[in-house]
């Protein structure tokens, strides 16, 4: 008995990295099916963990580039997929990774799949917004509450900064929910899988200024758009001052003075930004 082969050690989850590993085979297969990996695809998997999704993605014949921050998990994945020539392991933080370099290596757009750590889902989504021109499709699992905010329609109180930002850059579709007992360790929240399809727009669209405007507008959600913009600083504050105040800016953009940021449609945000920029010319 002492000579029996030992099973490879399974890395423990680390709370500091927000790790909850998907273990339910039914949901693993549903997510892989939603990604729809095919030979010829280049899939970027963020935070592959123990490789629950990676296995199905690699088996499809697609090129799979996995980026993992945890060295112990990365070691285990490299060993597991050692003989799969279509698998590549990158070690590092997705927030510090240039997707342009990964995309350029394959001379094509990336199909992205991820079970996003709940504690950094917002900064990752902001990064994807900025580099959406490199993506063909995004299939991500998020905390259910975040997924609901992303899909919130104008006028919905759940609508916020991230909603408006992502709606400007992606078409959004909620696919299905995943219960806590599908993970180990079991999280205290429900999850949901969402598909984001990049909206191809003017390559010269000022994403940075748009993000500044939306951030200023949602500075305090309970306040009106006018009140938030009137106390904004930086570039937005300077531009609002050129109009003589937010009331004049909103009126010139066809937006009610008492409107709240959550009520605006994407087209109204674009019009508001255009007026801010044009005022400086």
Residues tagged active-site: 47, 68, 115, 118, 183
Backbone dihedral region for residue 89 (phi beyond 0: left; psi -120 to 50: alpha; all else: beta): beta
Collect all residues with Cβ–Cβ distance below 8 Å to 8 and sequence separation of at least 6. 76, 79
Beta bridge partners of 43: 64, 111
Q: Cis peptide before 10, with omega less than 30 degrees from 0?
A: no
Token code pair at residue 232: 């904004």
- Number of helices (H), then strands (E), belonging to the chain: the values are 12, 9
Beta bridge partners of 88: 65
Largest Cα–Cα separation, the chain: 83
Distance CA 7, CA 215 (A): 50
Backbone dihedral region for residue 216 (phi beyond 0: left; psi -120 to 50: alpha; all else: beta): alpha
- Determine how many CB atoms are found less than 10 A away from the CB of residue 149: 19
Please say whether the beta carbons of 209 and 235 come within 8 A.
Answer: yes
Distance CA 270, CA 42 (A): 32
Distance CA 176, CA 199 (A): 22
Question: Exposed, middle or buried, 71 (CB in 10 Å: 0-12/13-18/19+)?
Answer: exposed
Site of tokens 């997510």 = 31
């Amino acid at each position: 008995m002492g000579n029996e082969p030992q099973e490879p050690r399974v890395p423990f989850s680390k709370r500091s990295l927000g790790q909850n590993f998907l273990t339910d085979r039914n949901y693993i297969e549903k997510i892989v099916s939603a990604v729809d990996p095919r030979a010829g695809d280049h899939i970027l998997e963020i935070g592959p963990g123990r490789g629950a999704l990676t296995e199905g993605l690699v088996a499809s014949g697609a090129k799979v580039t996995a980026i993992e921050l945890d060295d112990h998990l990365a070691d285990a994945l490299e060993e597991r997929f050692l003989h799969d020539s279509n698998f590549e392991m990158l070690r590092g933080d997705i927030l510090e990774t240039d997707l342009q370099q990964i995309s350029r290596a394959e001379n094509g757009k990336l199909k992205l799949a991820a079970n996003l750590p709940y504690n950094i889902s917002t900064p990752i989504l902001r990064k994807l917004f900025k580099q959406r021109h490199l993506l063909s499709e995004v299939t991500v699992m998020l905390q259910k509450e975040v997924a609901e905010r992303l899909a919130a329609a104008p006028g919905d109180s759940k609508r916020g900064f991230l909603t408006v930002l992502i709606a400007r850059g992606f078409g959004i579709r909620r696919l299905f929910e995943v219960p806590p007992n599908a993970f180990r360790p079991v999280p205290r929240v429900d999850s949901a899988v969402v598909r984001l399809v990049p909206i191809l727009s003017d390559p010269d669209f000022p994403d940075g200024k748009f993000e500044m405007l939306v951030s200023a507008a949602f500075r305090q959600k309970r306040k009106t758009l006018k009140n938030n913009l009137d106390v904004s600083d930086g570039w937005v504050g300077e531009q609002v001052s050129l109009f003589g105040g937010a009331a004049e800016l909103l009126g010139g953009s066809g937006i009610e003075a008492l409107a709240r940021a959550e009520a605006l449609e994407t087209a109204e945000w674009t019009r508001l930004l255009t007026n801010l920029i044009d005022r400086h010319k």
